[in-house]
Amino acid sequence: MLFGADVAAAWPSPPPARRLAYEMAIAYGYLARLFESWPPGPDEPWLGLVRGPVRLPDGTERPGTRRLVGAVLAVACVLVAQRSGVWVAAKREIGPAYRATVGGRAADVVDVVYNRCRIAWGYAVPTGRAEQLELQQICTGALSFLTSFEATYREFLHSERNAPDAARAHFAAERLTSLAAAPGAVFSGVPPEAGNPPLGQGGREFGQGERE
């Protein structure tokens, strides 16, 4: 929106393959930030996936799941696009789109992370014992979903090394080198700030400018 006029439609869109490469890296950046202090300590609850506080309406703060929700939705969104070529604009539509396009048990994970962590609990860790046990189960499913994306991303990068777009091929080679430095580690081969690849105009970080 610029001086009352919607100019977003006039912005050039990146070529589909370049946008996919960009958004894959963005999704991985979300995971790198979520897992930057992973693995958790022996007494840390929720598998170390609750990161950073969330401010409640009364001004108090409580441990939150915003990073977890962002990572799950970012990964689900890019997997939908990889499978179908369609980019989902609204967060609330990502779960249904994932179920329709990718499916499988992971669709339940995407749905419950959005509907419970974001909608029901407003990103805050619930205070009731039963709901905290539910959150533990949600984190277990989310951990499996998110860690499986690393293999998907590595496979994607290997295919990108032969891309006709020199920028994409160069970025893929560099990223694979970074990942190879930490074999078997969970998202520790790439620093969190490396989530934004220099792949040209048109990409955007997940969560900016989306409808709820």
Please tell me the chain's helix, strand, coil percentages from 3-state DSSP, rounded to the nearest 5.
55, 5, 35
Q: CA-CA-CA-CA torsion for 192, 197, 201, 204, nearest 10 degrees?
A: -30
Outline where 35-165 has alpha helix (H): 66-84, 91-101, 106-112, 129-160
Residue 177 parent element (H or E): helix 166-180
Q: What are phi and psi of 85, to 5 degrees?
A: 80, 5
Task: Count structural domains, the chain.
Answer: 1
Any domain includes 211: no
Any domain includes 7: no
Classified as helix, coil or strand, 166 is helix
Structure tokens given for 109:
């994970």
Residues facing residue 62 across a β-bridge: 54
Q: What is the pLDDT of residues 48-90, one digit of tens each?
A: 899 888 888 888 888 899 999 999 999 999 999 999 999 998 9
Query: Please, which residues have CB within 8 angstroms of residue 166's CB and are 6 or more apart in sequence?
Result: none
The average pLDDT across 202-210 equals 39
The average pLDDT across 173-199 equals 60
Decide if 136 contacts 128 (C-beta within 8 A). Answer: no
Quote the crossing angle between the two packed helices 129-160 and 66-84, to the nearest 10°.
40
CA atoms within 13 A on the CB side of 105: 7
Cα distances from 138 to residues 4, 61, 114, 142, in angstroms, run 42, 21, 10, 6
Q: What is the pLDDT of residues 13-46, one digit of tens each?
A: 666 888 999 999 999 888 888 887 777 777 878 8
- pLDDT for position 16: 87
Query: Could you identify the residue written with the tokens 């419950």?
Result: 112
User: If 0-12 CB within 10 Å is exposed, 13-18 middle and 19+ buried, where does residue 209 land?
Assistant: exposed
Q: Which domain holds residue 101?
A: 14-180
Any domain includes 79: yes
Any domain includes 56: yes
What whole-number percentage of the chain has pLDDT above 70?
Answer: 78
Any domain includes 171: yes
Any domain includes 9: no
The Cα–Cα gap between 211 and 208 comes to 9
